[in-house]
Structure 1
Amino acid sequence: MASDVTLRRQLLRRKPVGALQGGGELRRTVGLFQLTMIGIGATIGTGIFFTLDSAVPEAGPAVVLSFVIGAVTAALTALCYAELASAVPVSGSSYSYAYATLGEFAGYAVGWCLLLEYAVSGAAIAVSWGQYLNDLTERLFGFQLPQAIAAPPGAGGWVNLPGAVLVLLCCLLLVRGAKQSALVNTVMVLVKLAVLALFVVVGATGFHAANLHPFAPMGTAGIGAAASTVFFSFIGLDAVSTAGEEVKNPRRTLPLAIVGALLVVTAVYVLVALVGVGAQPWTAFGGQEAGLSAILTRVTGAGWPGLLLSAGAVLSIVSVVLVVLYGQTRILYTMSRDGMLPELFRRVGPRSGTPVAGTAVVGALVAVLAAVVPLDVLADLTSLGTLVAFAVVSLGVLILRRTAPDLERGFRVPGHPVVPLLSVAFCGYLLYGLPADTWLLFAVWLALAVAVYLGYSRHHSALQQADRAEAGPVLTGTAP
């Protein structure tokens, strides 16, 4: 029929940037400081508190260079995010950017990558919560939760009950409103920064240069492998761009918050990694639980520094789960508004101004993942989904500079086009270091995405409705 839109056109049609900025149902209540805290809160969490335990055995003291590689990759991509966020200040992050630059299916696929990133990373972070919670209760009250309900599945645990409970509590807070959630997150972020500063200051008193030799026992291959591992610690910066429709003065606030969060995160990570590998032999990191707390106890010979750090880690992980769940619900909201997903995810509560039903669905899914899926599987899947989304954002900068050169931008990537191309290259390098079974699981996830797109999304897409309306006169025999 004349109204039928070819599959090729459906896959490649792009949503105009002006149309992406529509909506207006979410409330603009978040300022620069709170938004920067969202970026820091989403990024500094499980990664730095747990990653050293697995990354140091891969690279030795040279894990510091692995963090630098991760930081460079994150920095290159953050600059690209800053430009697109200032040009297209909407909820949806790289899904919206890809929709405007690469076409409907590319945007949809990136959206699924983001859903994977946020759901799986939220579960991974929640899973880890039980380890520091047990360390804290042991120090305070002399008891621990049974391993069967507190340890990560596959690592001595059967069902991770603390992780599931944490996810549900964060969802209850999120449905109360973005302003309240941002305030709670800001307080927890300031606490976690203070705790990590304590680790750097106290841990530095036990620094011994001899612990840095040999510096790279596993060679450059080990540094690269560890870089893929520690990149998990930089995931979360893109959460800033998911708040595009709830930010005051977004064209200015979004890029400033992204860059500011990156600078703080990078400084903290490099300092913590350097102090950590200097305070104990690199061979002692393997299999060490609540590692930073254990280092402080060893350095000082006292229990109070480790106690404070464990308490800070418990709060830190809460703030990360909160922001990750926030980001995912906003991506689902935007995809639903575009017709890519059912209307359920875009329904906003009249009192809270938040997507209540979508938050409930997300909470249930992430709680189940946190309860039953092993931590290492969750971490690698998170890295893969994130790196794919990051690479697409960098390509989006290149394309939007060509297709919409006069579009208002509150920030422009310096060194264009070199910086976006380097970002794609670094993402590809880290993707290459991920294991084959992670790629297999990712392929299954994308196959599911294709099935949903072909069966539902392409028929309900807002652009599809517009195409049908435009073709209507042809079907009735009237002049177009």
Structure 2
Amino acid sequence: MTAQTTAAPSLAAKAGAIGTATTNTTTKLNRTLGFSDLVTYGLIFMIPVAPIAFYGSQVAGAHGLVATAYLIGLVAMLFTAYSYTQLVKLYPYAGSVYNFVRQGTGSGGVGFIAGWSIILDYLLLPAVTTLVGTSFLTSLIPVVPGWVWAIVIIAAITTISILGINVLSKLSALFLGLQVVLIVWFVGATLLAVANGSVHFSLAAFYNPQDFSFSNVLSAIGLVIVSFLGYDAISTLSEEAENPRRTVPKAIITSILIIGAVFVLLTFLAGSVQPDYTKINPDSGFLDILGIVGGAPLQLFASIVIVLSFSLASGEECVTSVSRILYAVGRDGILPRQFGKLNEKTHTPVFATLVVAAVSLVLALATSTDILGNAVSYGALIAFVLLNLTVIWKLFITSDDKSPRSVLTHVVAPLIGTAVSVWIFTGLGPLAWTIGSVWLLVGVVIIAIRTGFFTKKLGASENLQEYFA
């Protein structure tokens, strides 16, 4: 892999044209990531062992039907993920859904609302992963206060993010390896228990005739959707990927299929080990299940892997992803231009990263996973709806291609993605609606200020294909 750190000769002029004359015109994000790096990044972001941390809080509300919730989430997200692949081929730039919707609709305002919505999730997620890591660390080493662990975690993930994508990529591969070991250990121990007759396969995690209802399944969908956000995170690295029009779409679909299969497998086996969800402790649900098949050694190893996976692995990628979106919006001059600057040595948006770290620390110290968990899917679902509608607009309505294949891929598929997102959106709680609505209102205020109360266009109107020519 080779680094690309210099711009085209006309970059300075084009940067000035799109309102980024004060940004580093000779510094670009390092384009070094290959397909396997992107898949690893997406898997780490989605945390293959996430059910071990969330199972206890999911299983009661879902009446045990957690595997069904993950299966529905996988199918639902595949349609939206496919829409991502269509737009990333056209606009392989940092900023993810912000740039996809802005470029696809030609509207800076609509693009900003899409990006602003998903920024909410990315700002909340580092705090969530920090709180999860803090909880496990305080249980392992109770003499250290939780707030100290929170500061240590935020400092570590911020440093890694600032050092650059190459450092993060190497650490991600290491953390993914540890999660694979944990998954193989649990699956092997469960199969051994099935073989000796102490555990029997059960479909309780998929279907229970006494408790099955879609409302029960919906209760677990919020955290499930968060668990699949890694495919969007992959798209934020488009300017750091080699041949992004090919590798990024392929990595998006590959990672979501792998992670979906892992989630369903883990929760199916958990439901087999303990079919009666009423006997599962909400605080230690999956750890208790690990203890049944693997004893204390498996529980201890799982606790260590959870700490590393949430607090460091996923946390650092959350910070990295949202800093890239803020960088793209700042580069367009919508947010303060400091957000759109890259450090000349590390080729990373240091200012954006530090802002994310500060917000994450405040949230981790002042809130709880219950509060953040309720709100974390709101912004992503808004962004998903806008992105799917952009596919319909850009690739069908304004396109000359009205073939049956285009109808299927550019109308039917994104409409299904939109419908599923709206369906899940209606199941979010009042707290999520309140926090999300306030956040969107702030976004509208920003647009009003930046457009002179809607009297001029918002941000850049130029095509980024020309900007990077």
Q: TM-score, normalised by structure 1?
A: 0.82
Give, as a single letter, the amino acid of the residue that structure 1 aligns with 2:277: W
2:277 to 282, 287, 309: 282
Aligned to 1:154: none
Answering whether residue 385 of structure 2 is matched by residue 391 of structure 1, we say yes
Answering whether residue 307 of structure 2 is matched by residue 303 of structure 1, we say no
Q: CA deviation at 1:403?
A: 6.2
Q: 1:227 to 1:365 in 2, by over 3 A?
A: closer
Answering whether residue 169 of structure 2 is matched by residue 182 of structure 1, we say yes
Q: CA deviation at 1:194?
A: 2.3
Q: 1:436 to 1:356 in 2, by over 3 A?
A: same
1:207 to 180, 190, 199: 199
Query: Which structure 1 segments of 5+ residues have no match?
Result: 1-18, 138-142, 151-159, 467-480
Q: In the alignment, is the contact (CA less than 8 A) between 1:112 and 1:449 conserved in 2?
A: yes
Counterparts of 2:367 and 2:49, CA distance in 1: 16
Counterparts of 1:442 and 1:45, CA distance in 2: 27
Aligned to 1:34: 37
TM-align CA RMSD:
2.8
Matches within 5 A, 1:120-131: 120-131=124-135
What are the Cα deviations for residues 381-406 of structure 1, in whole angstroms up to 9, with x where unaligned? 11111111112111111111036648
What are the Cα deviations for residues 281-340 of structure 1, in whole angstroms up to 9, with x where unaligned? 311224233x3332111234x311111111211221121111111110000010011111
Counterparts of 1:260 and 1:251, CA distance in 2: 15
Aligned to 2:159: 172
Answering whether residue 267 of structure 2 is matched by residue 269 of structure 1, we say no
SS of corresponding position for 2:246: helix
Give, as a single letter, the amino acid of the residue that structure 2 aligns with 1:384: Y
Answering whether residue 184 of structure 2 is matched by residue 197 of structure 1, we say yes
Query: Which structure 2 segments of 5+ residues have no match?
Result: 1-17, 464-469
Counterparts of 1:71 and 1:284, CA distance in 2: 27
Answering whether residue 426 of structure 2 is matched by residue 422 of structure 1, we say no
Answering whether residue 120 of structure 2 is matched by residue 116 of structure 1, we say yes
Counterparts of 1:308 and 1:286, CA distance in 2: 20
Aligned to 2:136: 132
Q: In the alignment, is the contact (CA less than 8 A) between 1:120 and 1:369 conserved in 2?
A: yes
Counterparts of 1:353 and 1:285, CA distance in 2: 47
Counterparts of 1:321 and 1:360, CA distance in 2: 14
Aligned to 1:3: none
Q: CA deviation at 1:272?
A: 0.4
Q: TM-score, normalised by structure 2?
A: 0.84
Counterparts of 1:50 and 1:178, CA distance in 2: 27
Q: 1:145 to 1:256 in 2, by over 3 A?
A: farther
Answering whether residue 231 of structure 2 is matched by residue 230 of structure 1, we say no
Q: 1:101 to 1:403 in 2, by over 3 A?
A: farther
Q: 1:232 to 1:217 in 2, by over 3 A?
A: farther
Q: CA deviation at 1:47?
A: 3.8
Aligned to 1:326: 320
Aligned to 2:436: 442
Percent sequence identity is 26
Counterparts of 2:237 and 2:75, CA distance in 1: 24
Counterparts of 2:148 and 2:457, CA distance in 1: 38
Answering whether residue 353 of structure 2 is matched by residue 356 of structure 1, we say no
Q: 1:97 to 1:79 in 2, by over 3 A?
A: same
Aligned to 1:144: 142
What are the Cα deviations for residues 184-227 of structure 1, in whole angstroms up to 9, with x where unaligned? 11221222122122222223425334683982543312123223
